[in-house]
Chain A
Amino acid sequence: QTVVTQEPSFSVSPGGTVTLTCGLSSGSVSTKFPSWYQQTPGQAPRTLIYNTNVRSSGVPDRFSGSILGNKAALTITGAQADDESDYYCVVYMGNGLWVFGGGTKLTVL
């Protein structure tokens, strides 16, 4: 059973830069169409990045996606208080199957 790993929590100062990562228990995510979602408490998730680095419509350009080594990465440049959320990645495992990471709780302080 493949596990998708994310940092459980992270903190960033207002105006700072933070990089969250998404890895696999085995292998690289680079060929698995990693995507990123933002969720605030009580709200539905919002799509930020798909296919590694494509920004969804309306998403500010301070959110960017990339591959770092074997992991997918979400970088937030110039963090704002509004960015305090849970961030989830998801990867495509083939045969129509998707697996989410456990999520990263980002604190801006």
Chain B
Amino acid sequence: EVQLLESGGGLVQPGGSLRLSCAASGFTFGTYAMSWVRQAPGKGLEWVSGITGSGGSTYYADSVKAHFTVSRDNSKNTLYLQMNSLSADDTAVYYCVKQGLYSSTPFDFWGQGTLVTVSS
């Protein structure tokens, strides 16, 4: 059974940093592309970032390109999102999402999400 467990969310001050983690199990992690999708309170879904199975290519929405970094450690079956220079606009639930073999393949399994709140 595919499981994705996000962690690392919490309250952070504007300008601060946070690193999210997503522990994956139930599939051969390093074979599949992964993404982060966020949802601000009361708002819709927003794709944030993606990464290929090898980690060799990364992709970002324009809204986060300058201050988020996605990475993965396939030996630990873990996906990361390093978030720097956080602002109130980054307040959201962040979902870890499994894709298919390529970054052009759709999202199939979703984690339960971790809440990031940026506030002073």
Interface residues of A (CB under 8 A from B): 1, 33, 35, 37, 39, 44-47, 50-51, 56, 86, 88, 90, 92, 94-103
Q: How far is the CA of A33 from the CA of B99 in the complex (A)?
A: 13
Q: How far is the CA of A103 from the CA of B37 in the complex (A)?
A: 14
Asked whether B69 is an interface residue with its Cβ less than 8 Å from the other chain, the reply is no
Q: How far is the CA of A35 from the CA of B110 in the complex (A)?
A: 14
Which residue in B59, B95, B107 is a CB contact (below 8 Å) of A97?
B59
Taking the nearest CB of chain B, how far is it from the CB of A56, in angstroms? 7
Sorted nearest first, the 8 A-B pairs with minimum C-beta distance are A96-B59, A50-B106, A98-B47, A96-B103, A103-B44, A35-B106, A100-B45, A44-B110
**Residues B47 and A99 in contact, CB atoms below 8 Å apart:** yes
Q: 28 A-B residue contacts at CB 8 Å?
A: A33-B106, A35-B106, A44-B112, A44-B113, A45-B45, A45-B110, A46-B110, A47-B106, A47-B107, A47-B108, A47-B110, A50-B106, A50-B107, A88-B45, A90-B45, A90-B47, A90-B107, A92-B106, A95-B59, A96-B50, A96-B52, A96-B103, A96-B104, A97-B59, A100-B45, A100-B46, A101-B44, A103-B45
Q: Which of A46, A56, A98 has the most CB of B within 10 A?
A: A98
> Apart from A47-B108, A99-B47, what are 8 other A-B pairs with CB-CB below 8 Å?
A1-B62, A50-B106, A51-B106, A88-B45, A92-B104, A95-B59, A96-B59, A98-B47
Taking the nearest CB of chain A, how far is it from the CB of B63, in angstroms? 11
Contacts A45-B45, A45-B95, A103-B45; A98 near B35 (Cβ below 8 A): yes
Asked whether B27 is an interface residue with its Cβ less than 8 Å from the other chain, the reply is no
